[in-house]
């Protein structure tokens, strides 16, 4: 079957715009998505009636048989049981712990995530560490972050204990799980309401964390239903589930990934408690799930906050809801929403570079996948949204899901992945050029300020299987490097005015896109309040040619610049000299470059690039008049990785920076 992508290739140049998020408030745009069940059909398993979802199972008797009959399953189960047993004996949540933000659990030195262990900081250990920082002092903020992670892990163990009770009948698992439910129900009101991020929370520091925990606590109550008296269950519903659900449903009245988590968690509480009004609010309310997906998923099936990590995050939020809804016999009520979310998981496949590596529009931490297809997410979804790829991956995995609901056998062969072609994803503000061995991803605009970075007009490129330049993921949001470096213009391949990139986030204007000629042009007339910018990317034979224009609106000559990052090594001519004060007089991101050297040029500067796999490219910068080229070591990801980068600088009111990549004359084709 031909790829669904092939029928959508624009063949001629055209101009297009897309409505932006209203006032940057996260309210989204109504993106048409006709017949979502049929999108990406060649990668799906459709039922005879054309639906994408299946009825999930919880086969407890079959699971016990598998554990008794299969040594491999028995070995896996023993390890899982031992982990829960050890946690139940040695780990205890405490009322005095106030949960913090896991993004604060980072090294102050470089933003790399710290190594988490269950040893209590200040008691079991005197300091912490990251992969690049062997001794990190324990601050109150870091301790609260540790405590927040602990509480989340404890609640995960509570859910697992409930599963173990259903499998083994051992009353100590039910007893411990219900004791923990009592602990959280009795103490919920003792924890302060924290309103630091997007709304109030009690279990931890933000409503997102509470929603994740509430999902697990709700399932724990369902799993232990037969082990508890009605009065005890009602106590948990009245003192734990309902207060959390009402608190969460009262916040995130906007289109946002966290809004999906909150509506999912509250809808699951509604299912368990039989609360029809809560269900209607969570699903059909003004900021309910249907509106989240109608306004938050583009017509290309990308989440409108643009970060591809949030594609997976939305799926992680809603797969439990879809599963619980179907288990309750109400799957058809969310059939359309299931189809949309399945498309979210499949859509990134159409952006993948030749190695499967994904581009990185908007902010994305390294905890999310950067390769497509998203087989791990498809595998996590197989119980409710089966696909050939997901089932094949799930069969390789031993998990509670595959134990209780073995991936069904299918005679369908694994699908050929859709061919990546030159294409404009208009509603998502992305474009791809592919020709002459090159593949270029162009991010020419944004749909909301949420998770946006100063990166409109950024591009990423591969030549054959070689990563020529990519956009990095960010560090933990609590790190100064997130705010002062990874989200700022210098981090991206963009033009700069006085050292800064685009502000505020904006949709951009696509001026031309021609797949046949492999050329795209986009502009941001209000790139900044005092500047306009435009970029044209073109593939000519085996050359990639970029023309980036920055225009100051008025006033005396400004500092006009261009940042370009490479994943290879540049040979610098002898005239390059060390720069001791690179950051002086420049914005904050410049302080994070190291070993900076510079040289002056007129009209043209040439460099040779060598990549780890042996590829050699010639790099030419062209700019009318005098300009200076800076070269240094810049932060990459995951921290503390680094890469080489160029920064070009001149003075004036308008500059057109032309950059050309071409294979070295002796270099074979890709």
Residue 574 has φ and ψ, to the nearest 5°, of -65, -25
Q: What is the pLDDT of residues 151-189, one digit of tens each?
A: 999 999 999 999 999 999 999 999 999 999 999 999 999
Question: Distances in Å between the alpha carbon of 325 and those of 77, 261, 439?
Answer: 27, 15, 42
Q: Is 60 left (phi over 0), alpha (psi -120 to 50) or beta?
A: alpha
pLDDT at 312 over 60: yes
| Six-digit token string for 667 | 């270099």
Q: In this structure, are residues 592 and 635 in contact, taking their beta carbons and an 8 Å threshold?
A: yes
**Pick from 218, 171, 433: nearest CA to 321:** 218
Residue 607 has φ and ψ, to the nearest 5°, of -145, 150
Rounded CA separation 146/133 (Å): 17
Mean pLDDT for 321-330 is 97
> What is the full DSSP assignment across 515-545?
TTTTEEEEEEEEEETTEEEEEEEEEETTEEE
| Model confidence band, residue 28 (pLDDT cutoffs 50, 70, 90) | low
| Model confidence band, residue 26 (pLDDT cutoffs 50, 70, 90) | low
pLDDT at 7 over 50: no
**Pick from 148, 126, 150: nearest CA to 137:** 126
Rounded CA separation 32/30 (Å): 6
Q: In this structure, are residues 643 and 566 in contact, taking their beta carbons and an 8 Å threshold?
A: yes
pLDDT at 442 over 80: yes
Rounded CA separation 80/57 (Å): 21
**Pick from 490, 368, 491, 495: nearest CA to 444:** 495
Identify which has the larger pLDDT, 662 or 28: 662
Q: Is 246 left (phi over 0), alpha (psi -120 to 50) or beta?
A: alpha
**Quick count: other Cβ atoms within 10 Å of Cβ 390?**
28
| Model confidence band, residue 196 (pLDDT cutoffs 50, 70, 90) | confident
pLDDT at 15 over 80: no
pLDDT at 121 over 80: yes
The pairing of beta strand 594-610 with beta strand 616-635 = antiparallel
| Model confidence band, residue 25 (pLDDT cutoffs 50, 70, 90) | low
**Quick count: other Cβ atoms within 10 Å of Cβ 530?**
14
Report the SS3 class of residue 151.
Answer: helix
| Six-digit token string for 172 | 């100590």
Report the SS3 class of residue 185.
Answer: helix
Report the SS3 class of residue 104.
Answer: helix
Report the SS3 class of residue 655.
Answer: strand
Residues linked to residue 623 through DSSP beta bridges, in sequence order? 603
pLDDT at 9 over 50: no
Report the SS3 class of residue 440.
Answer: strand
pLDDT at 594 over 70: yes
Mean pLDDT for 558-565 is 98
Mean pLDDT for 529-549 is 97
| Model confidence band, residue 21 (pLDDT cutoffs 50, 70, 90) | very low
Rounded CA separation 105/100 (Å): 9
Enclosing H/E stretch for 307: none
Structure confidence at residue 27 (pLDDT): 61
Signed CA dihedral, 528, 111, 565, 311: sign only = negative
Question: Distances in Å between the alpha carbon of 558 and those of 77, 229, 606, 655, 656?
Answer: 65, 73, 25, 10, 14
Q: What is the pLDDT of residues 344-384, one digit of tens each?
A: 999 999 999 999 999 999 999 877 779 999 999 999 999 99
**Pick from 349, 351, 321, 324: nearest CA to 337:** 321
pLDDT at 14 over 50: no
| Six-digit token string for 203 | 């279990």
Residues linked to residue 39 through DSSP beta bridges, in sequence order? none
Q: CA-CA-CA-CA torsion for 447, 449, 454, 460, nearest 10 degrees? A: -40
**Pick from 548, 520, 450: nearest CA to 16:** 520
Region of poorest pLDDT, from 102-116, 314-328, 454-468? 102-116
Q: In this structure, are residues 308 and 364 in contact, taking their beta carbons and an 8 Å threshold?
A: yes
Signed CA dihedral, 380, 386, 392, 398: sign only = positive
| Model confidence band, residue 12 (pLDDT cutoffs 50, 70, 90) | very low
> Residue 8 burial (CB < 10 Å; 0-12/13-18/19+)?
middle
Mean pLDDT for 635-655 is 95
Mean pLDDT for 113-124 is 93
The pairing of beta strand 569-571 with beta strand 577-578 = unpaired
pLDDT at 3 over 60: no
Structure confidence at residue 6 (pLDDT): 23
pLDDT at 413 over 90: no
Whether the model clears a pTM of 0.95, i.e. scores above it, the answer is no
Q: What is the mean pLDDT of the chain?
A: 93
| Model confidence band, residue 10 (pLDDT cutoffs 50, 70, 90) | very low
Angle of the 309-327 helix axis to the 289-296 helix axis, nearest 10? 150
Residue 292 has φ and ψ, to the nearest 5°, of -55, -45
The pairing of beta strand 458-463 with beta strand 642-652 = unpaired
Structure confidence at residue 552 (pLDDT): 97
All structural domains of the chain = 28-105+112-119+140-404 (1.50.10.100), 429-663 (2.70.98.70)
Q: What is the pLDDT of residues 49-73, one digit of tens each?
A: 889 999 999 999 999 999 999 999 9
- Which residues lie closer than 8 Å to 354 by C-beta, 6 or more apart? 439, 462, 464, 465
The residue whose two tokens read 């009795």 is 186
């Amino acid at each position: 079957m031909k790829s669904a992508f092939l029928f959508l290739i624009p063949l001629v140049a055209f101009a297009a715009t897309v409505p932006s998020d209203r006032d940057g408030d996260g309210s989204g745009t109504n993106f048409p998505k006709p017949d979502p069940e049929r999108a990406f059909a060649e990668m799906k398993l459709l039922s005879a009636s054309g639906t994408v979802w299946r009825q999930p199972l919880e086969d407890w008797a079959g699971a016990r048989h598998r554990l008794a009959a299969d040594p491999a399953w028995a070995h896996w189960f023993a390890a899982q049981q031992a982990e829960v047993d050890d946690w139940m004996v040695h780990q205890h949540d405490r009322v005095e712990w106030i949960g913090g933000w896991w993004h604060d659990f980072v090294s102050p030195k470089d933003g790399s995530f710290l190594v988490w262990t269950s040893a209590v900081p200040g008691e079991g250990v005197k300091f912490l560490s990251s992969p690049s920082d062997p001794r990190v002092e324990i601050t109150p903020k870091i301790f609260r972050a540790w405590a927040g992670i602990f509480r989340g892990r404890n609640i995960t163990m509570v859910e697992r204990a409930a599963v173990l009770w259903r499998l083994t009948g051992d009353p100590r698992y039910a007893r411990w799980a219900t004791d923990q439910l009592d602990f959280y129900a009795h103490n919920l009101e003792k924890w302060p309401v924290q309103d630091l991020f997007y709304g109030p929370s009690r279990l931890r520091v933000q409503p997102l964390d509470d929603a994740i925990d509430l999902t697990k606590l709700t399932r724990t109550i369902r799993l232990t239903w037969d082990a508890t008296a009605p009065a005890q269950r009602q106590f948990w519903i009245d003192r734990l589930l309902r207060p959390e659900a009402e608190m969460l449903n009262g916040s995130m009245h906007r289109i946002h990934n966290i809004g999906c988590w909150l509506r999912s968690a509250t809808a699951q509480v509604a299912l368990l408690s039989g609360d029809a009004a809560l269900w209607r609010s969570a699903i059909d309310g003004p900021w309910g799930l249907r509106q989240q997906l109608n306004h938050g998923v583009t017509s290309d099936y990308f989440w409108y906050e643009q970060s591809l990590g949030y594609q997976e995050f939305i799926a992680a939020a809603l797969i439990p809801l879809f599963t619980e809804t179907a288990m309750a016999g109400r799957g058809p009520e969310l059939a359309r929403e299931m189809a949309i979310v399945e498309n979210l998981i499949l859509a990134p496949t159409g952006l993948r570079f030749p190695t499967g590596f994904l581009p990185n529009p908007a902010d994305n931490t390294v905890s999310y996948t950067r390769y497509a297809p998203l087989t791990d997410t498809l595998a996590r979804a197989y119980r409710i949204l089966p696909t050939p790829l997901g089932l094949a991956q799930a069969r390789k995995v031993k998990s509670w899901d595959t134990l209780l609901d073995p991936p069904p056998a299918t005679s369908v062969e694994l699908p050929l992945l859709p061919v990546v072609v030159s294409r404009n994803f208009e509603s998502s503000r992305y474009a791809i050029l592919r020709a002459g061995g090159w593949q270029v991803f162009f991010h020419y605009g944004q749909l909301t300020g949420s998770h946006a970075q100063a990166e409109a007009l950024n591009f990423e490129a591969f030549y054959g299987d070689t990563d020529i330049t990519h956009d990095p993921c960010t560090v933990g949001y609590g790190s100064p490097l997130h705010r002062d470096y990874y989200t700022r213009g210098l981090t991206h391949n963009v033009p700069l005015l006085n050292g800064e990139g685009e502000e505020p986030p904006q949709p951009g204007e696509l001026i031309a896109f021609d797949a046949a000629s492999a050329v795209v042009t986009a502009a941001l007339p209000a790139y900044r309040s005092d500047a306009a910018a435009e970029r044209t990317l073109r593939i000519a034979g085996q050359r990639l040619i970029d023309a980036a224009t920055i225009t100051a609106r008025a006033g005396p000559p400004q500092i006009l610049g261009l940042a370009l990052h490479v994943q290879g090594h540049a040979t610098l001519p002898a005239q390059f000299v060390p720069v001791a004060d690179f950051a002086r007089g420049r914005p904050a991101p410049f302080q994070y470059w190291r070993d900076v050297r510079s040289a002056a040029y007129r009209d043209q500067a040439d460099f040779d690039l060598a990549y780890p796999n042996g590829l050699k490219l010639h790099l030419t910068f062209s700019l009318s008049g005098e300009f200076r080229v800076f070269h240094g070591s810049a932060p990459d990801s995951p921290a503390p990785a680094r890469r080489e980068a160029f920064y070009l600088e001149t003075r004036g009111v308008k500059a057109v920076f032309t950059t050309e990549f071409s294979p070295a004359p002796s270099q074979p084709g890709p």
